Every structure is written in C-alpha cells, then in structure tokens.
Amino acid sequence: MLRPYLKGVSELTFYVQNRIRERFHKVLPDNRLYDLRTTFYTRCQECGVADVARNVFVGHSLGALGDTYTELSDEFLLKEGRKLKY
C-alpha cells in the first residue's frame, strides 16, 4: 500500500517507542499516546468509514478467516480514508 509513496527511498528509520512517548508527554502531559489511537478510531466511526477499513487502519485483526481471505485494494482503502474530513 505504501509502495507508490516510497519511490526512491532506500532506507527507513524508525523511532524508539519510548522516545516518542516521552516527547508526546512533554507536549501534552495530561494525555497518553494511546489517546490518539482512540480518537482516530472514534473519528472513523463518526465519518462513516467502513468497519473493515477502520480495522485495517488501526491494525486490528480481521479474524482468522478474514485475515486469510480478505485482501482490500488500495483504491478501497483510499476511498474510505477520504471520508475522514473532520
């Protein structure tokens, strides 16, 4: 799904989770990083994003059969993502 956006990228650098958490806490000390995930999930619901797309966006399993037999197209996921106009 990310292949079109990664043309010419030869190396990816990932941040250490604790460092991200520490920086987030400095900016928003009364919140948890997980709050962003909860808010995103809620906004998907409010904007009418299909359940299956929302679950893919947040990394939820579709269940044993769903994970095996479901392969959502990039076009479908982009269409659902465009619904997030809040």
Render each residue's pLDDT in the chain as its tens digit; 86 residues.
667 777 888 887 777 778 888 888 899 999 988 888 899 999 999 999 998 999 889 888 777 766 677 788 889 999 999 999 87
Q: Under a CB-based contact definition with an 8 Å cutoff, are residues 80 and 53 in contact?
A: yes
The verdict on residue 73 lying in a domain is: yes
- For residue 67, the model assigns a pLDDT of 65
The verdict on residue 22 lying in a domain is: no
- For residue 11, the model assigns a pLDDT of 82
The verdict on residue 60 lying in a domain is: yes
Q: pTM of the predicted model, to two decimals?
A: 0.66
The verdict on residue 44 lying in a domain is: yes
Q: Report how many domains make up the chain.
A: 1
Q: What is the DSSP string of the chain?
A: --GGGGTT--------HHHHHHHHHHH-TTS-THHHHHHHHHHHHHTT--HHHHHHHHT----HHHHHH----HHHHHHHHTT---
- For residue 26, the model assigns a pLDDT of 92
Residues spanned by the domain of 74: 32-86
The verdict on residue 11 lying in a domain is: no
Tokens 């679950």 — which residue?
55
The verdict on residue 3 lying in a domain is: no
The verdict on residue 37 lying in a domain is: yes
